[in-house]
Amino acid sequence: MATMQEVADRAGVSIATVSFLLNDTKPVAAATRARIEQAMADLGYRRNVVARALASRRTHIIAMAYPALEHKFGTSTAEFFTSAAEAAREDDYHLVLWPVGNDGVELRELLGQGLVDGVVLMEVQLDDARVGVLRETGTPFAMIGRTTELEGLTHVDIDFDTTVADAVAHLYDLGHRQLVLVSGDLDDPRFHAYGPWVRIGDAYRRIAAEHRLEIVVVECSDTTRAGHEAAAQIVRDHPGTTAVLVMNEFAALGVTAGLQRLGRDVPGDLSVLPLLMVPETAAMSNPELTIMRTPGPELGRLGTQSLIRHLEGAAPLPPQLVPAKLVPGESVGRPRSASAEGIGGR
């Protein structure tokens, strides 16, 4: 690998001038610029990022901290990561995925090594130990998600209110009046303070009340098997249900299959609408699920860009909330009662 000194020698300039050109940090005369660029091309020069990092005290590496123990890493998460990595690359940063625990211990360990300029925090808890670690060490960070205390914290998140409102409105407009929310299992220690589960539950209670709907919430863990059980519970305890909203994507697959196993047609007897899912997972179900599509690509990108602005001292982006959007599939239809009674118009 050629070094900057070799480029400078070949171009007949000093190493400083090469650096100025490369970083666009001081003006360089056109003729000089041409000679340097020629020399770089001739030598196939690529700047050594390690040396740059040491000299500038900026590694240009961003870590995406993902609690792989507590949360499955699936297609949904991959979307966040891939879009974040892409956004980082566009701004001359590397984004690396760090599987670190929720408690902040590993994170502190890693931060001490000075490898990263900043951290994108995934799967944020309402009161997140990692935030404390990041603040103590003075590490810039952005959250994809939100703690309860937010003052001064850079973040982006799903707009749960709009997501739930749109989902409920869609079902309501089709004529559904008896909904069930399959919510998270808040007894599970991984989730009792997990933002999305809490916020979706809160939003649902409020919005269902606005529509004067009876509020029925079934708790359910984040597995297909748990979804089966939730389906059984719905059929047994809430036989009049015409539509089911499901928070977790794995549970949603289970609810659908579970309803079918119990002889219910989806969407003939019951509609199923997952609140946070990606098309790939929706396609795993039969019928293919109608979903509120997780805005992973947008949020991965926005979160990373927010952090980078922070790192570069630019004016911070305002916190952004992005709703999941309805993507039609085959699991939502009009309720039988509506077709019979003519509710829902059109």
By CB under 8 A, name the binding residues for a copy of itself: 1, 44, 46-51, 53-54, 59, 68, 72-75, 78, 81-82, 85-86, 94, 96-97, 99, 109, 112-115, 223-225, 228, 250, 253-254, 257-258, 260-261, 280, 283-286, 288
Distance in Å, CB of 3 to DNA, minimum? 4
**Phi/psi at 79 (5° precision):** -65, -45
DSSP per-residue letters across 270-334: -EEEESSB-HHHHTTSSSPPPEEE--HHHHHHHHHHHHHHHHTTPPPPPPEEE--EEE--SS---
Q: Does 192 bind DNA (CB under 7 A)?
A: no
Within 10 A of 305 (CB to CB), how many other CB atoms are there?
20
Distance in Å, CB of 217 to DNA, minimum? 52
Among 217, 269, 203, 207, CA closest to 246: 217
Which of 53-61, 65-73, 79-87, 287-295 is the region at the interface with DNA (rule: CB under 7 A)?
53-61
Distance in Å, CB of 16 to DNA, minimum? 3
Among 216, 220, 215, CA closest to 254: 220
Within 10 A of 126 (CB to CB), how many other CB atoms are there?
16
**If contact means CB under 5 to 8 A according to the sort of partner, which of DNA, a copy of itself, none does residue 97 touch?**
a copy of itself
Distance in Å, CB of 82 to DNA, minimum? 27
**Residues between 55 and 84 that touch DNA (CB under 7 A):** 55-58
**DSSP strand pairing (271-274 vs 94-99):** unpaired
Q: Which is nearer to DNA, 13 or 276 (CB)?
A: 13
Q: Which is nearer to DNA, 116 or 299 (CB)?
A: 116
Q: Is 121 helix (H, G, I), strand (E, B) or coil?
A: strand
**DSSP strand pairing (155-158 vs 179-184):** unpaired
Tokens describing residue 332: 């939502």
Backbone dihedral region for residue 212 (phi beyond 0: left; psi -120 to 50: alpha; all else: beta): left
**If contact means CB under 5 to 8 A according to the sort of partner, which of DNA, a copy of itself, none does residue 16 touch?**
DNA
**Residues between 12 and 41 that touch DNA (CB under 7 A):** 12-17, 19-20, 22-23, 25-29, 31-33
Return residues touching DNA (CB under 7 A). Answer: 1, 3-5, 12-17, 19-20, 22-23, 25-29, 31-33, 47-48, 51-52, 54-58
